[in-house]
Structure 1
Amino acid sequence: MNTLVPLPEPLPPGRVPEVCLVVGEQSAAVKLAPLATAMRRRGRVRPVLLACGDHATAVTETLSAFGLAADMLVELARDGQDTTRAAAQLLAGLDHAYTDRPPDAVVVQGDTATAFAGAMAAFWRRVPVVHLDAGVRSFDLTAPFPQEGHRRLIAQVCSLHLAATPDATANLAGEAHAGPKVVTVGSTAVDAGFDALDRHRSHPDARVQAIEDTVVAGECRMALVVLDPTHWADDELTRVLHGIADLVLATPDLEVVLPAPRGSDLRHRAYDMLGRLVRVTITDPLLQPELVCLLSVAAAAVTDSDVLAEQAPSFGVPVLVLGGECGTWAEPAHPGHPWTAGADRAVIARIAEKLVLSHVERLAVAPAENPFGDGFAAVRCEQAVQWLLGLRKRPHEFAPGRP
């Protein structure tokens, strides 16, 4: 299929192409870190990590957990600006960055405003756009809003679509994005999870370390609850935390670990609603090594994070992903996929308890294959970028179940 942006000109002999990886959120940092590492290890492409947006400081902290540092910084001073003005400021900042250090290609991840701005700024500069996690669709432009619109618009200006799963690839084909420039690679979140686990040494919070030790000794079970406080309205967050309280009261041997940023509404409400429960530990946000280590020994996870949901099957941990309308819920469509539910107190407590109680049965068998990735997604992505730049053949694709 033809692209709207011309493919790069042949590189002069000896010049290593630079590829800009745009990182605006912590989840993007987790998913792009393995790709940057793979590029640096191989040495055929030079990654340039660009941290930008409101969360630039958090992004740099997340990257540092993977042994990486941002090469460029585009900060966004919101100062009460509305979304439109903030987006315009971000576009201008990214355009200046691409001008100061012209990339041979730009990689964006996901469906955020940062990904959209990074793609459009590159497109206007006639720089090829690579979209990591391409093909995710709800098929409803109003939900999630505006993310679904960002997904579709990025696809229109993309020179290389890196889809995590065959389902995402099929979604792209349904929109006439098909052919060799769509590559199924697996999720780099899985790679990040394995890398983070290798980097883990101990928990800085002694309470968390004590819980992990107790879980590993088989003396209790643990549920990991990870929520982004910016995703939730006050009444929704109240219902979610009530559901977690009900879960704790219904499961006598269960410990809950809930990371929450200091000063956030999530932390205040968690202390108000869960602070009196002795088996709930509210801690500061955890970096990937600490978070993945806890996930690997958890009986279940309750989260709104797609990163955690994609990492969990590697450790045989079932996940309840929260989002959508109150009262809605769905069982996994395929083995290894998460349960989903809206912000409904009774539903959250009931499904989370079901997942926790299945822990003993799961310990008796080896974890099933992770349908989201096999730990080699970053290598495939790096090879696909090389292919786009004319440096090698097109890589083999990820296919769950293939030996």
Structure 2
Amino acid sequence: MPNTLVPLPAPEPGRMPHVCLVAGDAPAAVKIAPIVAAMRRSARVRPLVIACGDQTEEVVEALSAFGILPSLVVESTLDGQTTQGAAWLLNTLDRVYADLAPDAVFVQGDNAIAFSAAMAAFWRRIPVVHLDAGVRSHDLTAPFPQEGHRRLIAQISSLHLAATADAAANLACEAHGGPKVVTVGSTAVDAGFGAIERHHEHADDRVRALEEAVLHGGSRMVLVCLDSTRWSQDDLAAVLHGVADLVLATPDLEVVLPAAYDSELRLVADDVLGRLVRVTIIDPVDHTDQVCLLSIAAAVVTDSNVLAEQAPSFGVPVLVLVGGVGAWAEPERPGYPWTASPERGLVARIAEKLVLSQVERLAVPPAHNPFGDGFAAVRCEQAVEWLLGLRSRPREFAPEL
């Protein structure tokens, strides 16, 4: 398939190419951080990390857990999913690229920041590298506008880094194929393994005591991680009532729920779960502490794709909350999450099923993670080097069955 941007001519001798990596929220920062570390180790390209948008504080905090400081912070008070916010982002990032003159721009996912960063680079004829390419719902209205962003970024990308073979197949259906699509695995898995290596102990005494009880077999634990900005108050209440039903039905079960003090989630959690002894509501934890809680959980209830991709490495089943009414689905393959709409009965029934399956899971080693093997960041770094004419194309990720 003709593509004049892949690969690019090799840079001039003695000149190290610059690559801008744009992070617009904490999950993007978590997925980009291992790639920055891989680029620094290789020392063949120079990574320039840009924290961008209206969540820069969260981005900087997430990066700091990996020992990374952004090269530049582009802070906005506007919502990037409005026309005014998108216009501001495009104009500002255009000036940033003019000043930095990067050889490539690296974006992750499908939010408005990724879309604006990709468009600004494309208009300056800077190659766009898209991490987590090929994710599709095949419905432009759900999620909105993310599904549209995914497809539009794909049209202008020079290099598509797909986490799974399914994602690569989605791209092929849209005529994005050939060497410019590389299946690399999820860098969230890399980040999860790194978090386990860095972790010492939790700051909260209650969490440390609970961790000890779980590790010694005295209790089981469910981790509940939700982004309150994604859900209505009624949806949050329905989910947490389902969690309460689960706790009341399972005598040895504890729940840990991180929630910011002034968030809608904390208000609803205090109301629905505050009187239950075996529920621990804590302040938000960094990525390192979150992964360590994940690693000892009997199950996870979340809306985070990052946690869903990390969990199979520890043999932990996940219930991912999705939109719709009365919708739920069992995983198609081992390691994939269950999904359900935020409804009390569905959450309680599926979470109980996952918790009760722990005895069976403990009897066998964890299955191979279909989302990654811990080397996705290296493949991403090598793929970018290939794009820039510095090496041969890397081998692709193929999960063990």
Instruction: Please indicate the TM-score interval, normalised by the length of the shorter structure.
Output: over 0.9
SS of the residue 2:285 aligns to? coil
Per the alignment, residue 190 of structure 1 pairs with: 189
1:121 deviates by 0.6
TM-score (norm 1): 0.97
CA distance in 2, matches of 1:120, 1:255: 46
SS state at 2:132 partner: strand
Cα separation, 2, equivalents of 1:30 and 1:358: 30
Q: Are 1:191 and 1:377, in contact at CA under 8 Å, matched by a contact in 2?
A: yes
Unaligned regions of 5+ residues in structure 1, if any? none
Aligned partners of 2:10 and 2:350: how far apart in 1?
A: 55
Deviation at 1:236, TM superposition (A): 1.0
State the secondary structure of the residue aligned to 2:178: coil
- In the alignment, what sits opposite 1:77? 77
Partner of 2:330: 331
Cα separation, 2, equivalents of 1:153 and 1:189: 23
Whole-angstrom CA distance in 2 between matches of 1:210 and 1:81: 42
Could you say what secondary structure the match of 1:223 adopts? Answer: strand
User: Once structures 1 and 2 are overlaid, which stretch shifts more, 4-13 or 351-360?
Assistant: 4-13
For 1:351-370, list aligned pairs within 5 A.
Answer: 351-370=350-369
Are the counterparts in 1 of residues 80 and 86 from structure 2 also a CA contact under 8 Å? no
Q: Are the aligned partners of 1:138 and 1:148 in contact in 2 as well (CA < 8 Å)?
A: yes
Per the alignment, residue 382 of structure 1 pairs with: 381
Give the Cα–Cα distance (whole angstroms) in 1 for the partners of residues 385 and 91 of structure 2.
28
CA–CA distance in structure 1, aligned partners of residues 285 and 96 of structure 2: 30
Which residue of the partner structure matches residue 106 of structure 1? 105
1:97 and 2:61 correspond:
no
Aligned pair 1:199/2:178, yes or no?
no
1:241 Cα shift? 1.0
Find the counterpart in structure 1 of residue 237 from structure 2.
238
Q: Corresponding residue for 1:56? A: 56
Matched residue type, 1:332: P
Q: Which residue of 1 aligns with 2:305?
A: 306
Give CA-to-partner distance per residue, 1:270-329, whole Å, 9 cap, x none. Answer: 001100001111111111110000100000000000000000000000000001212110
**Which one-letter code corresponds to 2:345 in the other structure?**
A
Give the deviation of 1:367 after TM superposition.
Answer: 0.2
Contact 1:160–1:182, Cα closer than 8 Å, also in 2: yes
- 1: CA distance, partners of 2:142 / 2:232: 16
Matched, 1:347 2:338: no
Structure 1 stretches of 4+ with a deviation exceeding 2 A read 1-10
- Is the 8 Å Cα contact of residues 44 and 386 (structure 1) preserved in structure 2? yes
* Pair 1:39 & 2:20 matched: no
- Whether 1:162 and 2:155 are equivalent positions in the alignment is no
* Shift, 1:2, TM fit: 3.4
Shift of 1:3: 3.9
Counterpart amino acid of 2:10?
Answer: P
3-state SS of 2:36 partner: helix
Distance 2:182 2:31 in 1: 17
> Cα distance, 1:92 vs. partner?
1.6
- Give me the whole-angstrom Cα distance separating, in 2, the residues matched to 1:274 and 1:34: 36
Q: CA deviation at 1:370?
A: 0.2
The aligned counterpart of 1:12 is 12
State whether structure 2 residue 371 is matched by structure 1 residue 372. Answer: yes
Distance verdict in 2 for CA 1:4–1:92, change over 3 Å: farther
Give yes or no for the alignment of 1:316 onto 2:345: no
For 1:7 and 1:384, locate their aligned partners in 2 and report how far apart those are by CA, in whole Å: 10
Distance in 1, matches of 2:242 and 2:315, equals: 23
The separation in 2 between residues aligned to 1:26 and 1:221, in whole angstroms, is: 28
Letter in 2 for 1:190: V
Q: Render the CA deviation track for 1:220-276: whole Å, top value 9, x for unaligned.
A: 000000000110012111111111111111111111000111211001110011000
Q: Is the 8 A contact 2:80 2:89 kept in 1?
A: no
Q: Please give the secondary structure, in 2, of the residue aligned with 1:257.
A: strand
Q: How far does the alpha carbon of each residue in 1:16-70 deviate from its partner, in whole angstroms, 9 at most, with x for none? A: 1010000010000010000000000110111100001111011000000011110
| 2:68 aligned residue | 68
Offset of residue 11 of structure 1: 1.1
Matched-pair contact (CA < 8 Å) for 1:295–1:312: yes
Does the aligned pair in 1 maintain the 2:80–2:112 contact within 8 Å? no
C-alpha contact (below 8 Å) 1:7/1:128 kept by paired residues: no
Which residue does the alignment assign to 1:266? 265
Which SS does the other structure have where 1:74 is aligned?
strand
1:136-172: CA deviations, max 9, x gaps?
Answer: 0011101111000000000000000000000000000
Counterpart in the other structure of 1:215: 214
Report deviation, 1:10: 3.3
1:51/1:59 contact within 8 Å kept = yes
Residue 401 of structure 2 is aligned to residue 398 of structure 1: no
**Measured at CA, do residues 82 and 307 of structure 1 come closer, stay the same or move farther in structure 2, by a change above 3 Å?**
closer
CA distance in 2, matches of 1:15, 1:82: 37
Write the distance in 1 (CA, Å) between the matches of 2:257 and 2:289: 13
- Please give the residue correspondences for 1:19-34 in structure 2 after superposition, counting only pairs within 5 Å: 19-34=19-34
296-305 or 95-104: which moved more? 95-104
CA distance in 2: counterparts of 1:208 and 1:199, whole angstroms: 17
Measured in 1, the distance between the counterparts of 2:21 and 2:202 equals 30
Q: Within 1, Cα distance between the matches of 2:70 and 2:240? A: 35
* Structure 2: runs of 5 or more not aligned: none
Deviates further, 104-113 or 85-94: 85-94
| Secondary structure class of the residue paired with 2:13 | coil
Aligned to 2:256: 257
Q: Give the Cα separation in 2 of the matches to 1:197 and 1:87.
A: 37
TM-score (structure 2 length as normaliser): 0.98
| Letter matched to residue 28 of structure 1 | A
**Segment drifting more, 384-393 vs 235-244:** 235-244
